[in-house]
Amino acid sequence: MQRLIECVPNFSEGRDPAVLDAIAAAVRSVEGVALLDVDPGAATHRTVFTFVGPPEEVVEAAVRAARVAVERIDMTRHSGEHPRFGALDVCPLVPIAGIDMDETVQYAHELARRLGEEVGLTVYCYENAARTPARRNLAAVRAGEYEGLKDKLATPAGAPDFGPAAFNARSGATAVGARDFLVAYNVNLNTTSTRRANAIAFDVREKGRVKREGDPLTGPIVRDADGEPVWEPGALKCVKGIGWFIEEYGVAQISMNLTNISVTPIHVAFDECCRRAEARGVRVTGSEVVGLVPLQSMLDAGRHFLRKQQRSTGVSDRELIKIAVKSMGLDELGPFDPDQKIIEYKLRAGGPKRLVDLSVRGFVEETAAESPAPGGGSVAATLGALGAALGTMVANLSSHKRGWDERWEEFSDWAERGKRAHDELLALVDADTDAFNDLMAAFRLPAGSDAEKEAQRAAVQAATLRAIEVPFRVMEVACESMEVTLAMAREGMPSSVSDAGVGALCARSAVLGAYLNVRINACDLEDASARRDFLDRGAELQRRARELEGLVLDAVGDKVDAKGG
């Protein structure tokens, strides 16, 4: 999985398009980073940028954007409705895919260090990146705002985590954090009553509502020993929410911020709102995601609703997304376009064309063209993906077969295994061609001086190793997928047994074909021990694939013979 983080810097400028364009250009200047959104506010005199990419590149883009902010924004002339204390006011990093929070914190600290050392900003770390518990809350870090910053820096407690401790009147200070992905999510109701919507919001949000004696609406507020109101928590952790009426659509909504979707995913929030609304005589009619959402959230939602229907979850990502959209009514108020609403898909739309995005005809013709790539390795991975997909298909059909209702979960688990295999094999189609292109690029490096020759040799060896590892992984995954095919040949729908057989033939061919790539590339690997290890393990995978193929074809033959074929 590609490693992706999101950066959501807030700049204290919302009125000068030239400044915002310069910041945007700085972000776009980093290859691999996609600027997804620029949201200026004139009243707040503040603009929120959103960009995504690999961690190192995102950090570089944030540093470049900060340099522009320091040059173009003067805090001595700034005023706005939103709390702030610096030109680059806050700069949180958010893990999106292939990276956890601990790693994101490390990148936040690296960003804070670079902003201090290279840009000269005074930097405080907050949220998960906080270096002291007192600075975890952003409001505490920014207390006193810009106007109180000079006095704050004069105290030991106000010393920054990175950068100069001296007050810079022009740039102020910056808060760098690491936080979980926040999803703005609204649930639509069949009522125009803000009061009813608020009541449901209080039921579900973590903060809940103020506790009262007797009547929950008019009774006296219960207070603690210090005279502070006692709160009754709501049902969902990491959820903030209120009810409001949207004039444009003529409905009331429960408007929520899901501040940690690993704790409360979108589908959990939706289901809880449905339960609480029904208890109050109100019905949920749909919902909407404001902004972007990670792919995993949509896939998890799709699987959740399929499980509730006792249907196989081993279907394509597009099918999972469709189920999620329809189940939560995400298209009630407007179209839900996955290519525009899902972060990974939006990023992919602006990237280079991949082999797996070609039509079947396009892939075949690209393979037949004069260029040496794609070649046998990518074709082997394609065969493997097709073989795994056939096994997955039989599992999905078997899960939905009339009379086998009690076995749906058994076949769903097999379908999930098959889907994981064909998803990875599809990724390996392009990975094999990328590995070949990298190897050719390494051979083209300059080799005039002794130093250049050594650098070229090292690059060629690294690229050669990658050109072995990719087809070797094709062998491993294709062989694993044959376990699914064998199970389906023995236990799946009898009418689809021939499909399992074709799947086994494809997978076996993928293993044998990929092994040819392993062998030919291993000839150029200088590490004799590693070369021997790849060849020995590859030979064993080849033996196992042939064995599994025989078992599948025996099972297929038995069932076909039983039908009189």
Q: Which residue is listed with tokens 């429960």? A: 254
3-state helix/strand/coil string of 117-169: HHCCCEEEEEECCCCCHHHCCHHHHCCCCHHHHHHHHCCHHHCCCECCCCCCC
Amino acid at residue number 336? F
Task: Give Cβ neighbours of residue 154 (< 8 Å, ≥ 6 apart).
Answer: none
3-state helix/strand/coil string of 380-399: HHHHHHHHHHHHHHHHHHHH
CA distance 258 to 185: 7
- Which DSSP state fits 495? G
CA 533 distance to own-chain centroid: 35
Contact predicate 108/124, CB 8 Å = no
CA distance 92 to 179: 7
Neighbours of 242 (CB within 10 A): 15
Contact predicate 66/163, CB 8 Å = no
> What tokens appear for 71 in the block?
């040059």
Indicate the angle between helix axes 17-28 and 55-72, nearest 10 degrees. Answer: 150
Contact predicate 250/285, CB 8 Å = no
Task: Give Cβ neighbours of residue 470 (< 8 Å, ≥ 6 apart).
Answer: 377, 428, 431, 432, 435
82 is catalytic: yes
DSSP alpha helix (H) spans, 235-356: 266-279, 295-308, 317-328, 338-341, 343-349
**Catalytic: which of 16, 74, 82, 400?**
82
CA 112 distance to own-chain centroid: 24
**Catalytic: which of 180, 432, 434, 499?**
432
Contact predicate 163/120, CB 8 Å = yes
Q: Return the closest-CA partner of residue 310 out of 182, 162, 409.
A: 409
Task: Give Cβ neighbours of residue 375 (< 8 Å, ≥ 6 apart).
Answer: 367, 432, 433, 436
Q: Return the closest-CA partner of residue 97 out of 153, 52, 132, 57.
A: 52
- Cross-strand pairs, 395: none
SS3 content of the chain, % helix, strand, coil (to 5): 55, 15, 30
- Which DSSP state fits 82? S
432 is catalytic: yes
Specify the 3-state DSSP secondary structure of 247.
coil
CA distance 184 to 198: 17
Sign of CA dihedral 27, 28, 31, 32: positive
CA distance 252 to 275: 17
- Could you give the residue numbers annotated as active site? 82, 432
